[in-house]
């Protein structure tokens, strides 16, 4: 009888994912005994997230490579772990008051958010195609369910079904791309693929190229880039608002970091063959995202299109395929997390029991009736539009810097022009808040916790805009 | 000799795969899928992966698909026979065009694969595809993906229960 040697596992570098898995199962079990009161579940989930965030700093020397080079904990993955933990915590905080009002009482909600976070953390550290696939699936499956967790609501059902069908289809493309890449190089490890390409020993260059194209389709769907973006507006609109904010930040960041790792570490050497294609996708994503957003009348759909356009900017960092691009994505997503959670916090604040007040015209008169909230909204809108001195400006600045360093000047010019276009619809909301009046009473329907999230977001948006250096250093 | 077995098997798989999408009743679709899995198991045997082939039959064709059949038959045997679900494309021209594009891409892939200079089969080690080998690989090199898969299944199970339970609380 042959014994299988136990593999050496560095549990410390795995700690965030392990802690969250345990807490996810714990929350599921606690739900059995908690009864109607979900506060205990919320508390346990938040404790798990905080512990995971702290344990991300536990590895003494970075990077830690484990599992034969299929799992790497480096500065990038630690920072992304922080983004994930942070965005999941904010999602849970936003849900505390939102869920009971909107009839979401399932305790599994919190467990699914934790499992989704596990998937995201694994995705940020995965340097093996199989791990990347599993990470994406864990994240996606949790999201399908979270999108449809408002079971009495037709739009939520539609969102879940649409997301599931299209997502499963896109996963097919992703897996097919991965198999072709494996077929061409004979390995699933990203570093191994790069090595084989470098030595020129691929089985077939065309296979490699086809695999790359299919990977662009698969990842393109997961990050909602044009022309694979059609699901985003419907899903963002139908999903419960905290989940929408969650989807726009965490899972998107996770898919982007995997996208970046595959394209910047495994196949950068054949970059000249795929960067044209990715450039077309990036430009189309920016243009269609921004012009699509202009005509929207529903705030969640508008934010969906705006989030599509932001992916366009982020793709530029992947095209640049240098280490600067990686930290630019990390910084951007952190800034984006603050902006989006703040905006959705306000969207949730203005909702009522029977109507969520999602039309943009509902925001008329906010400047007079709720001056503080209107001011916060203005900060978020200006930051999303990339105006200084807010976080959005610095974030775009780093992305464009990474691209210019590699000589993609035209791409950056197009992106800057697009940010100008985007200002139109962001400022439209600001104008509506201050210049128009409404007869309707605008009352804040939520309590202090949602307000606190908005306050944290405002602080973060301004702080990251004024003092970008400490955060940027964390990403490098 | 190997090709002589491979092509009929592969052709069978493709035909059954088509059957899954084309057949009008869900039962026929599921049956085609089972047949496709069987064919795939045959391809695995041809690749010296005997253990995987058996797993394929036991797990997919045996357990999962039979469960599928039960669910379909228990849920809507009647409507399955009466309603033939047809897919009507909203824009025929676009569908035809994209269909042709996809066909072209597939043809291109097929050409490339047939010309690729692949490693000779001699590179496969002796114990390839045996239970010991599969187990060793699963619990050493792929122990992390193996464990992550359990989280994936747990999340999927919880999700299915949340979305499908009768009582909305």
A4:B161 CB<8 A: no
Q: What pLDDT does residue A164 have?
A: 94
The phi and psi torsions of A401 (rounded to 5 degrees) equal: -60, -45
Mean pLDDT of chain B: 81
Chain B's closest residue to A152, CA to CA, is B168
Angstrom distance (rounded) from CA A475 to CA A468:
11
Query: Which of A105, A183, A184 faces B169 most closely, judged by CB atoms?
Result: A105
B155:A152 CB<8 A: no
Q: How confident is the model at residue A445 (pLDDT cuts 50, 70, 90)?
A: confident
- Helix (H), strand (E) at residue A64: strand A64-66
pLDDT in tens, A340-396: 999 999 999 888 777 777 888 888 888 888 889 999 999 999 999 998 889 999 999
ipTM of the complex: 0.90
Q: How confident is the model at residue B70 (pLDDT cuts 50, 70, 90)?
A: confident
Selected residue with higher pLDDT from A208 and A36? A208
Q: Is residue A125 pLDDT above 80, yes or no?
A: yes
Give residue limits of the domains in chain B: 2-78+94-168
Three-state SS sequence of A449-472: HHHHHHHHHHHHHHHHHHCCHHHH
Q: Which of residues 90-119 of A touch B (CB under 8 A)?
A: 105-106, 108, 111-112, 115-116, 118-119
Q: What pLDDT does residue B120 have?
A: 52
Angstrom distance (rounded) from CA A313 to CA A322:
15
Angstrom distance (rounded) from CA A92 to CA A107:
12
A130:B142 CB<8 A: yes
B163:A145 CB<8 A: yes
Find chain B residues with C-beta within 8 A of A7's C-beta. Answer: 139-141, 143
Give pTM, 2 decimals.
0.91
The phi and psi torsions of A149 (rounded to 5 degrees) equal: -75, -15
In contact, A219 and A227? CB cutoff 8 Å: no
Angstrom distance (rounded) from CA B50 to CA B35:
18
Q: How confident is the model at residue A210 (pLDDT cuts 50, 70, 90)?
A: confident
Residue A217 CA, distance from chain mean position: 18
Q: What pLDDT does residue A7 have?
A: 75
Chain A's closest residue to B144, CA to CA, is A67
B117:A204 CB<8 A: yes
Angstrom distance (rounded) from CA A90 to CA B154:
24
> A144: how many CB neighbours lie within 10 A of its CB?
25
A115:B155 CB<8 A: yes
Tokens 């699936």 locate to: A137
Chain B's closest residue to A143, CA to CA, is B159
B140:A4 CB<8 A: yes
A207:B139 CB<8 A: no
Chain A's closest residue to B140, CA to CA, is A7
Find chain A residues with C-beta within 8 A of B140's C-beta. Answer: 4-5, 7
Q: What is the DSSP letter of A126?
A: B
- Helix (H), strand (E) at residue A362: none
For chain B, which residues lie within 8 Å of any Cβ of chain A, measuring from their own Cβ?
Answer: 108-109, 112-113, 115-119, 132, 135-136, 139-145, 148-149, 151-152, 154-156, 158-159, 161-163, 168-169
Q: What pLDDT does residue B123 have?
A: 61
Chain A's closest residue to B137, CA to CA, is A4
Angstrom distance (rounded) from CA A359 to CA B27:
45
A210:B112 CB<8 A: yes
Selected residue with higher pLDDT from A169 and A271? A169
Q: Is residue A86 pLDDT above 90, yes or no?
A: yes
Q: What pLDDT does residue A124 have?
A: 93
Q: Is residue B68 pLDDT above 70, yes or no?
A: yes
Task: Return the SS3 of A203.
Answer: coil
Kindly list the distances between the CA atom of residue A395 and the CA atoms of A82, A140, A317, A337, A422, in Å, as whole numbers in the listed order.
17, 27, 11, 12, 15
Q: Which two tokens stand for residue B33?
A: 């899928």
Angstrom distance (rounded) from CA A403 to CA A264:
13
Packing angle of the helix pair A409-435, A299-320 (nearest 10 deg): 160
Q: Which two tokens stand for residue A57?
A: 């700093």
A66-70, A114-118, A229-233, A294-298 — which one is most confidently predicted on average?
A114-118
Chain B's closest residue to A104, CA to CA, is B169
Pick the CATH number of B2-78+94-168 from 1.10.540.10, 1.10.10.10, 3.40.640.10, 1.20.120.1200: 1.20.120.1200
In contact, A81 and B137? CB cutoff 8 Å: no
Query: Which of A71, A141, A186 faces B159 most closely, judged by CB atoms?
Result: A141
Find chain B residues with C-beta within 8 A of A118's C-beta. Answer: 151
Q: Is A407 on the interface with B (CB under 8 A)?
A: no
Query: Which of A71, A115, A141 faces B144 most closely, judged by CB atoms?
Result: A71
Query: Which of A5, A141, A152 faces B168 most closely, judged by CB atoms?
Result: A152
Find chain A residues with C-beta within 8 A of B168's C-beta. Answer: 151-152
């Amino acid at each position: 009888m042959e014994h299988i040697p136990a593999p050496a596992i560095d549990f410390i570098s795995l700690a965030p994912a392990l802690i969250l898995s345990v807490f996810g199962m714990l929350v599921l079990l606690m739900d059995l005994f908690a009864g109607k009161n979900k506060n205990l579940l919320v508390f346990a989930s938040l404790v798990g997230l905080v512990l995971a965030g702290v344990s991300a700093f536990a590895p003494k020397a970075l990077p830690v490579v484990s599992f034969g080079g299929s799992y790497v904990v480096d500065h990038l993955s630690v920072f992304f772990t922080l983004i994930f933990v942070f965005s999941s915590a904010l999602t849970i905080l936003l849900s505390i008051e939102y869920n009971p009002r909107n009839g979401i009482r399932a305790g599994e909600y919190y467990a699914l958010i934790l499992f989704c976070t596990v998937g995201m953390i694994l995705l940020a550290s995965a340097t093996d195609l199989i791990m990347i696939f599993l990470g994406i699936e864990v994240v996606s499956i949790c999201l399908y369910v979270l999108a449809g967790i408002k079971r009495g609501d037709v739009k939520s059902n539609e969102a879940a079904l649409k997301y599931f069908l299209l997502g499963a289809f896109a996963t097919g493309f992703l897996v097919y791309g991965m198999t072709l890449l494996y077929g061409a190089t004979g390995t699933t490890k990203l570093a191994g693929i790069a090595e084989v390409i470098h030595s020129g020993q691929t089985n077939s260059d065309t296979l490699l190229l086809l695999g790359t194209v299919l990977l662009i389709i698969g990842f393109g769907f997961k990050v909602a880039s044009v022309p694979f973006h059609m699901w985003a507006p419907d899903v963002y609109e139908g999903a419960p608002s905290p989940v929408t904010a969650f989807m726009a930040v965490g899972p998107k960041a996770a898919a982007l970091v995997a996208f970046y790792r595959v394209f910047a570490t495994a196949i950068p050497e054949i970059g000249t063959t795929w960067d044209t294609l990715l450039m077309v996708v990036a430009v189309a994503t920016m243009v269609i995202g921004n012009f699509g957003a202009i005509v929207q009348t529903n705030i969640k759909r508008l934010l969906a299109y705006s989030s599509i356009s932001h992916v366009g900017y982020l793709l530029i960092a992947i095209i640049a395929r240098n280490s600067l691009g990686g930290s630019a994505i990390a910084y951007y997503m952190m800034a984006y997390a603050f902006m989006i959670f703040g905006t959705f916090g306000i969207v949730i604040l203005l909702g009522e029991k029977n109507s969520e007040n999602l039309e943009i015209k509902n925001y008329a008169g906010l400047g007079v009736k709720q001056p503080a909230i209107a001011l916060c909204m203005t900060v978020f809108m200006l930051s999303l539009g990339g105006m200084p001195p807010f976080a959005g400006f610095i974030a775009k600045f780093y992305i464009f810097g990474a691209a210019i360093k590699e000589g993609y000047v035209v791409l950056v010019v197009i992106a800057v022009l697009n940010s100008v276009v985007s200002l139109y619809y962001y400022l439209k909301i600001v104008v509506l808040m201050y210049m128009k009046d409404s007869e309707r009473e605008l009352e804040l329907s939520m309590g202090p916790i949602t307000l606190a999230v908005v306050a944290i977001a405002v602080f973060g948006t301004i702080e990251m805009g004024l003092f970008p250096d400490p955060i940027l250093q964390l990403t490098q | 000799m190997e090709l002589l077995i491979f092509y009929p098997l592969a052709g069978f798989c493709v035909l059954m795969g088509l059957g899954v999408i084309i057949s009008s009743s869900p039962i026929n679709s599921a049956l085609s899928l089972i047949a496709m899995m069987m064919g795939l198991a045959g391809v695995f045997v041809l690749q010296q992966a005997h253990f995987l082939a058996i797993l394929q039959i036991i797990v997919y064709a045996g357990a999962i698909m039979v469960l599928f059949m039960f669910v379909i038959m228990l849920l809507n045997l009647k409507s399955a026979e009466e309603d033939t679900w047809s897919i009507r494309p909203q824009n025929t021209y676009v569908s035809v065009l994209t269909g042709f594009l996809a066909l072209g891409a597939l043809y291109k892939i097929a050409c490339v694969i047939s010309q690729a200079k692949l490693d000779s089969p001699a590179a496969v080690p002796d114990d390839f595809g045996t239970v010991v080998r599969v187990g060793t690989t699963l619990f050493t090199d792929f122990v992390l993906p193996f464990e992550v898969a359990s989280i994936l299944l747990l999340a999927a199970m919880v999700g299915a229960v949340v979305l499908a339970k009768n009582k909305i609380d």
